[in-house]
Every structure is written in C-alpha cells, then in structure tokens.
Amino acid sequence: MSGSNGETPAPRGGVLGILKRLDDGLSVIERQLLGWSIVIMAVNTVANVIMRLVFSSSIFFSEELNQFLIILVTFVGISEAARMGRHIRMSAFTDMLGPTASKIMMIIITTGTACLLFLLAWYSVDYVMSLIKSNRLTPALRIPYYFTVLWVPFGLTVTGIQFLFAAATNIFKPGTHLSYRVEDTFEAEDHHL
C-alpha cells in the first residue's frame, strides 16, 4: 500500500529495515551536501556580481568554485533523484505489461542500472587516481584538481546503491517500485479511468 504521493510505508525489520536505516543515513548526508552547495553557489554568484558592479573586478576563484559545486550537486543529486523515483524512465513498454511482468522488468532494469553505475564509478575512480598521479592544480584556487571530481565516484556509487535498494524492494515487497521509497502508482491510476 502506498501513500497519496506514491511513497511506501517504512518497513520495520529484516532486509528492508536494514536498507531503510542505510538509506536514511545516506539521505541526510546527501541533503546536507546539496543544500550547503546550493547556498554557497548562490552567495558566491551574488558576491561576484556585486564585485563586478561595484569594483569592476570579479572574484578570482568564483567561476572555479561554482564549477566544483555544480559537479557536486549533479553527482550527489542523481542519487536523491533515484531515491525519490524521479529519474528519467521510458515506461511505455512496461506500462503495457501485466503486474508480474512489469515487476520482473523493474527488477532487471534496476539491477542492470546499478551494475552500469558501479562500472562507471570504477572507471571514475581510475580517472581520479590518474589525476592524483598527475599532480595537477586548479588554476585559481591552486588545490589538487582531483578534489573537484571526487564527487563523481561518490555520486555514481550511491546512485548505484539506490538502484540496488529499488531492486531489493521489488524482490521483497508486493507491487512495482520505482525506488526504495516510491511505488509505481501508474497501474492504480490506470484502473480508475
């Protein structure tokens, strides 16, 4: 049974209870990172505009800082989108299937997506390692360049975890679930037409 917004009630024990506790911890970290990053971006951008208008000079690190924060928001934000079932999906085919086939397809899709994200995370770790060896520094802040892309493997990994959570939810719970927290309500809405 799902709530009015499609969110599924929280399980109390077992595999899904453990997943819920892990997911809650990840969610707190991600939301803090996203919230503070957006606040810092806004303050940085406004300060840079004021500097340009008042002193006819930009803050030398403003653009570089915003690029770093955009990478962080993008790759941490994809996990939050996956958690809330707001990722892009092509559902025309699965919507035509019956409930059982749709559920099986969702398990295959979420597991496959998780595997792909873990593979991309592996490659991104390799890329970060190559940046560490190169000793490159960012032009303005003069910090190691790899600091700016550390969020890529983190974001891909936690998003992969979200899709594994979705696969486990579809295996252990009735109904078809877009994510660990969100049940696909299309079928229920379709029957009311």
Instruction: Give the C-alpha separation, 32 to 79, whole Å.
Output: 13
pLDDT on residue 2: 43
What is the DSSP annotation of 144-171? BTHHHHTHHHHHHHHHHHHHHHHHHHHH
Q: What pLDDT digit, counting tens, does each position of 45-80 carry?
A: 999 999 999 999 889 999 999 999 999 999 999 999
Task: Read off the pLDDT band of 157 (50, 70, 90).
Answer: very high
68-72-73 Cα angle (round to 5) = 115
Q: What angle do CA 21, 13, 26 make, to 5 degrees?
A: 10
CA distance linking residue 75 with residue 64, whole number of Å: 17
Q: How confident is the model at residue 12 (pLDDT cuts 50, 70, 90)?
A: low
Average pLDDT over residues 117-145: 94
